[in-house]
C-alpha cells in the first residue's frame, strides 16, 4: 500500500473502517481490488470516501466494479460519484436501475430540473421528423437546457463529431451517409411534460449514460414525455467553417 503513495494515516483509517487493520490477507485484497489502477494511487478514492460508513466501504471490497462506476461518474459529477446508490444504479443492468429519487436528494433533483425553467432542446437526425409521429420514444426523450444547447453549438461550431463526443453519442453515429442532416429541436417550458431525472433504463440511454443528470462531459440532461410536432421548433445545424 505504501508503494501506492498512500500515507500511513490514510491506510490505517481506511483499514480500521473495514475492520482489517491486522488482517494482512484482506489488506492485500484491498490493494488488488480497490487501489489497483485508481487515479493517484487511490488517494482521491480514499479522500472521497473518508467519511463513508463501514457498510458502504465493504461494498467496494465485495463488488470492485463499483470502483469503475466511481471513476466513470467522477469526471462529470464529483458530487454524485460519492453516492453509493448512484454507483449501484450505474452498475445495475439496463432495465433494472433504481428510480433516481431513491438515491438523490429532493433538493438535488429540484435544483437540477430548475435548469429547464426556460425550455429544453435536443438534437437528432432529420429522419425522425418523417419516421415518428412524435418527437421522442414511448419511454421519453432526453433533453438539455436551451442555454446549454446554445453554448454547446457555439463551443463545437456545429461540428457533428464534436457534438457526438459532448453528448455521449457513439462516434460516427450521426455521420453515416451524406444525406443525414442533424436538426435542433426546441421545446417551450409549457410543453415539458413529466420533466424528470434520467433513470438509465430508457431506450435512449446508451453505454455512456451516468446517473445524476449529466452527460460524461458534464452537460445537463433530463427526460420528458414525447412531444407533438406542433409543439416543437426545428432548426437545421450547419457546421461553422
Coil, helix or strand at residue 126: coil
Q: Supply the pLDDT for residue 41.
A: 72
Identify whether the C-beta of residue 198 lies closer than 8 Å to the C-beta of residue 59: no
Identify whether the C-beta of residue 4 lies closer than 8 Å to the C-beta of residue 42: yes
Rounded distance, CA 204 to CA 155, Å? 24
**How would you list the strands of the sheet with 120-125, edge to edge?**
222-224, 141-145, 120-125, 182-187, 232-236
Beta strands in 96-145 (DSSP E): 120-125, 134-135, 141-145
| Matching residue, cell 460524461 | 216
User: Buried b vs exposed e over 177-203: b needs ≥16 C-beta within 10 Å?
Assistant: eeeeebbbbbbeeebbbebbbbbbbbe
Q: Supply the pLDDT for residue 241.
A: 52
Coil, helix or strand at residue 214: strand
Rounded distance, CA 115 to CA 241, Å? 31
Per-residue pLDDT of the chain (241 residues; tens, 9 = 90+): 555 556 666 666 666 665 544 334 444 565 666 666 676 777 788 788 878 777 787 888 888 899 899 999 998 899 999 999 999 999 999 999 999 999 999 999 999 999 999 999 999 989 898 889 999 999 999 999 999 999 999 999 999 999 999 988 888 888 776 667 899 999 999 999 999 999 999 999 999 999 999 999 999 999 999 999 999 999 988 765 5
Q: Supply the pLDDT for residue 61.
A: 81
Q: Supply the pLDDT for residue 237.
A: 87
Cβ contacts of residue 85 below 8 Å, gap of 6+? 98, 102, 103, 104
Q: Supply the pLDDT for residue 24.
A: 43
Identify whether the C-beta of residue 231 lies closer than 8 Å to the C-beta of residue 143: no
Q: Supply the pLDDT for residue 26.
A: 43
Rounded distance, CA 174 to CA 159, Å? 11
Identify whether the C-beta of residue 44 lies closer than 8 Å to the C-beta of residue 82: no
Q: Supply the pLDDT for residue 30.
A: 59
Amino acid at each position: 500500500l505504501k508503494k501506492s503513495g498512500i500515507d500511513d494515516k490514510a491506510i490505517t483509517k481506511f483499514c480500521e473502517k473495514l475492520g482489517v487493520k491486522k488482517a494482512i490477507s484482506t489488506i492485500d485484497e484491498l490493494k488488488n481490488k480497490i487501489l489497483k489502477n485508481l487515479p493517484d494511487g487511490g488517494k482521491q478514492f480514499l479522500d472521497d470516501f473518508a467519511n463513508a460508513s463501514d457498510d458502504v466501504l465493504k461494498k467496494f471490497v465485495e463488488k470492485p466494479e463499483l470502483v469503475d462506476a466511481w471513476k466513470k461518474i467522477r469526471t462529470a459529477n464529483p458530487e454524485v460519484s460519492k453516492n453509493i446508490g448512484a454507483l449501484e444504479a450505474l452498475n445495475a443492468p439496463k432495465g433494472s436501475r433504481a428510480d433516481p429519487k431513491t438515491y438523490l436528494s429532493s433538493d438535488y433533483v429540484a435544483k437540477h430540473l430548475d435548469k429547464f425553467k426556460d425550455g429544453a432542446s435536443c438534437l437528432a437526425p432529420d429522419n425522425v421528423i418523417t419516421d415518428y409521429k412524435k418527437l421522442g420514444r414511448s419511454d421519453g426523450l432526453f433533453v438539455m437546457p436551451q442555454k446549454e444547447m446554445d453554448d454547446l453549438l457555439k463551443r463545437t461550431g456545429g461540428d457533428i463529431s464534436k457534438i457526438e463526443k459532448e453528448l455521449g453519442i457513439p462516434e460516427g453515429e450521426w455521420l453515416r451517409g451524406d444525406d443525414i442532416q442533424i436538426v435542433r429541436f426546441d421545446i417551450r417550458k409549457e410543453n415539458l411534460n413529466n420533466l424528470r431525472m434520467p433513470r438509465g433504463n430508457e431506450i435512449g440511454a446508451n453505454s455512456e449514460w451516468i446517473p445524476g443528470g449529466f452527460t460524461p462531459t458534464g452537460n445537463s440532461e433530463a427526460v420528458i414525455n414525447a412531444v407533438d410536432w406542433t409543439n416543437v421548433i426545428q432548426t437545421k445545424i450547419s457546421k461553422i467553417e
